[in-house]
Amino acid sequence: MNTFSRTVWQRWLLLLTALVAVLATGWIHAQQAAAPAAPPGESGVLFTNVRVFTGAPTLSAPSNVLVVGNVIRTISTGAIPTEGLGRVTRIDGGGRTLMPGLIDAHWHTMFVRPTPAEMITGDFGYFTLMAGAEATATLMRGFTTVRDMGGPSFGLKQAIDAGLLPGPRIYPSGAMITTTGGHGDFRSLTELPRTGSGQSHIEQVGAAMIADNPDEVRLRAREQLAQGASQIKLMAGGGVASPHSPIDVSTFTEPELRAAVEAAENYGTYVAVHAYTSVAAQRAIAAGVKVIEHAHLIDEPTAQLMAQKGIWLSTQPFLDDEDIPRMPPGSPQYARLRQVLEGTDRIYTFAKKYKIKTVFGTDILFDAQLATRQGAQLPKLAKWFSNVEILNQATANTGEMLALSGPRNPYPGKLGVVQNGALADLLLVDGDPLKDINLVADPERNFLVIMKDGKVYKNKLAP
């Protein structure tokens, strides 16, 4: 190579090196780069001196976070200019943790407070008002989003979205679809056999729908989608509280499950199924279901299948502790509960071993007192997972799973993360939950600021 060629090559090498450095610097500082200017006069909230939970095992360096409207506009370790904005509320984080709002992937918005008798026979208006009060309490526990896994939550969601009362974002399934005698069929024996085309009370209020062939399943799924369901919920097997179906029962056939999957896919969304056993889970997976709820009694090959197929696991840390549901000892329901409690360690061990995509949920039913301990269920996962894994199960992981609803997503945008452009659902935590996960168990004391959709609902630091 002559001197001229060598000189040209060296210059190109220097330019290439400089270009790589610029690109790397741009990637590192992507979250610090200011987004396009906000419309003149738009209000904002500026968090200063916070350490951000980014989904990594350690918090960020001290940073500032600007929320404009309902999205995170800028994240920077330097000062963030607010010229051109209208009113800006400044919150000095004092070095505390700023993290995404919590997400409960298996919640029953309408069924947390009423008793089973009230749900089956009570006044619908009364238990809707109870659900509204519980929705506000849910938000004030730091759960800014819930995926409602069965119940008539459409009206409550509409009221929250319209600002009529505070509450979390709701991803509604509508009525849970089950079979005659399946989990969720809470009809009394005096209502069987069904005669004519009349519907039971639970069907009339939209709590559950009974379907016993593919055409009926397709019809019921389409009805929920027409009302605004973001996903469809089917009961693929028996359950603990079932009055008629033992927990080992597999209810829907594969063609019936596939009918729901086809209806959901035609709407661009997905089906999740209640399934405790391997048979119920495998049949659902074969039909195209994307999310398995519970799965406490599955075997290892089924867990491997879920991992291989990329199936989401939405499960709960049911333990034999102070939060155990109250069941009469000696009853069929109590015996089923014992089976589930014994399966909790197995399902989480499988989830960890095979890296199954896992999200956190509570599935609290008919127990207003237990609902106050919603966040206290998270630290129980420490038996199997690190603190960062636990937090991700209740934030980023669930945000990713919720995106499966595609065009039926009622809240387009990124949830469960603190990133530029993400929806502004944020918690300011008095401490570092990566070091002490128990902080999330006491939201009244430790969640100093609660923000949903860019609006501050709680601020203990306000003068």
Query: For residue range 357-411, what is the model confidence (pLDDT) as tens digits?
Result: 999 999 999 999 999 999 999 999 999 999 999 999 999 999 999 999 999 999 9
- Is domain 102-384 annotated with CATH 3.40.47.40? no
Sorted by sequence, the CB contacts under 8 Å of residue 101 that are 6+ apart come out as 142, 143, 144, 145, 395, 416, 425, 426, 427, 450, 451, 452
42-101+419-459, which class in CATH? mainly beta
pLDDT at site 3: 42
Provide the residue count of the chain: 463
pLDDT at site 210: 95
CB 358 within 8 A of CB 272: no
- Between CA 180 and CA 321 the distance in angstroms is 33
Work out the average pLDDT over 266-273.
98
Query: Of the candidates 352, 316, 421, 340, which has an alpha carbon nearest to the alpha carbon of residue 33?
Result: 421
How many CB atoms within 10 Å of residue 25? 10
pLDDT in tens, 132-185: 999 999 999 999 999 999 999 999 999 999 999 999 999 999 999 999 999 988
Percent of the chain at pLDDT above 70?
90
CB 360 within 8 A of CB 104: yes
CB 274 within 8 A of CB 178: no
Question: Pairing state of beta strands 312-315 and 358-360?
Answer: parallel
Domain boundaries, given as residue ranges, for the chain: 42-101+419-459, 102-384
- Between CA 361 and CA 364 the distance in angstroms is 9
Percent of the chain at pLDDT above 90?
78
The DSSP bridge partners found for residue 91 are: 47
The DSSP bridge partners found for residue 271 are: 232
How many CB atoms within 10 Å of residue 1? 8
pLDDT in tens, 187-243: 777 777 777 667 887 888 899 999 999 999 999 999 999 999 999 999 999 999 888
For the chain, the maximum distance between any two Cα atoms, rounded to a whole number of angstroms, is 99
- Between CA 181 and CA 408 the distance in angstroms is 30
| CA separation, residue 229 to residues 92, 193, 259, 307, 435 (Å) | 39, 29, 16, 27, 38
Structure-token pair, residue 31: 């979250």
Q: Is 55 exposed, middle or buried (0-12, 13-18, 19+ CB in 10 A)?
A: middle
- Between CA 463 and CA 458 the distance in angstroms is 13
